[in-house]
Structure 1
Amino acid sequence: MKAKKIEAYTMMEVAIAMLLAAVCMSICYTAYGMIGDYFQVFQKRNASAEEVLTLRRTMEKDILKGKYLIRTESGINILGDSLGIAYNFADSAILRKVEGLRTDSFHVSPVEAVFLFEGREALELDTVDHISFKLQMEKQRMIPVTIGKMYSAHDLLK
């Protein structure tokens, strides 16, 4: 009686198939890690850009609502009929304090802040019509921000 030969893969073929599968899995895992790292960098950069845009929009809206911008030791006060908002320029953040409500923090680093009135530097307790500063981002990138306020003659004579 002759033994029947069973059709199967040899040990060498199975070992080569496992090796190829391991190589494919390691390539996929490495690619997944790289994509995850790129996405984290993208999210961080996107969050800092959103912070800058929110700060700018909020400052412009507050300045538009206010009647006067008054220079303080650490920033500006925005005054109006029933409005009192203070912007304090700290080293690592800009703080927005609304009178009687809350304090908002914008986690950006302002540098080279300049407060002007009619082209000259505004001293403490002077009126301000032009605010200019730069926000320092990662890798020494600077984003300039400039905001102006138009006063009427009636407002300035009070």
Structure 2
Amino acid sequence: MKTKKIEAYTLMEIAIAMLLAAICMSICYTAYQMVGDYFHAFQKKNATAEEVLTLRRTMEKDIAKGRYLIRTAEGFNITGDSLNITYQFADTAILRKVENLRTDSFHVIPVETRFRFEEREALEMDTVDHISFMLKMEKQQTIPVTIGKFYSAHDLLK
């Protein structure tokens, strides 16, 4: 009786194929992790930038709607005909309080806050026409923010 020989791979060929597959999978997994880490850092940086832009836009909009900016111990008040908004500069956030509504918090770290009126430092309960502060970010980076308010002669005589 004649035995029929089956064509197949040897154990050595299969082991080498498995080793090559394992190397390819480890390279792909490492690349996937690196791309994921870069994307996470990118998202975090964009979220911080969006927080800063939202704070600036909201503050500019509120100041434009208000009639007066009044310096307080923690920040400043924006007052108007039927408007009363308070901004408080805390250690780890800037809080925006709208009377009878809600409190918004911007998770940024304000440093070096300055309140001025006609180029002199505004004291507590003084009118303010220039607000400047720095926002401390990661890696000791700071972002300067400067916002001004223009008063009419009619507003200042009241």
Q: TM-score range by the shorter chain?
A: over 0.9
Aligned to 1:39: 39
Is structure 2 residue 88 aligned with structure 1 residue 81? Answer: no
- Identity of counterpart residues, as a percentage? 80
Instruction: In structure 2, give the amino acid aligned to 1:74.
Output: E
Aligned to 1:20: 20
Question: Stretches of 4+ moved more than 3 A in 1?
Answer: none
CA distance in 2, matches of 1:78, 1:93: 18
Instruction: In structure 1, give the amino acid aligned to 2:78.
Output: I
Alignment of 1:59-138 (within 5 A): 59-138=59-138
Q: What secondary structure is seen at the aligned counterpart in 2 of 1:73?
A: coil
Aligned to 1:141: 141
Show CA shifts across 1:46-105 (max 9, x none): 100000000000000000000000000010000000000000001100000001110000
Aligned to 1:55: 55
Post-superposition offset of 1:6: 1.1
CA distance in 2, matches of 1:115, 1:8: 83
User: Which structure 2 residue ranges, 5 or more long, are not aligned?
Assistant: none
TM-score (norm 2): 0.99
Aligned to 1:3: 3
Instruction: In structure 2, give the amino acid aligned to 1:53.
Output: L
Root mean square deviation, CA, Å: 0.6
Aligned to 2:152: 152
Post-superposition offset of 1:3: 1.8
CA distance in 2, matches of 1:2, 1:106: 85
Post-superposition offset of 1:2: 2.9
Q: How many equivalent residue pairs?
A: 158
Instruction: In structure 2, give the amino acid aligned to 1:101.
Output: L
Post-superposition offset of 1:17: 0.4
User: Which structure 1 residue ranges, 5 or more long, are not aligned?
Assistant: none
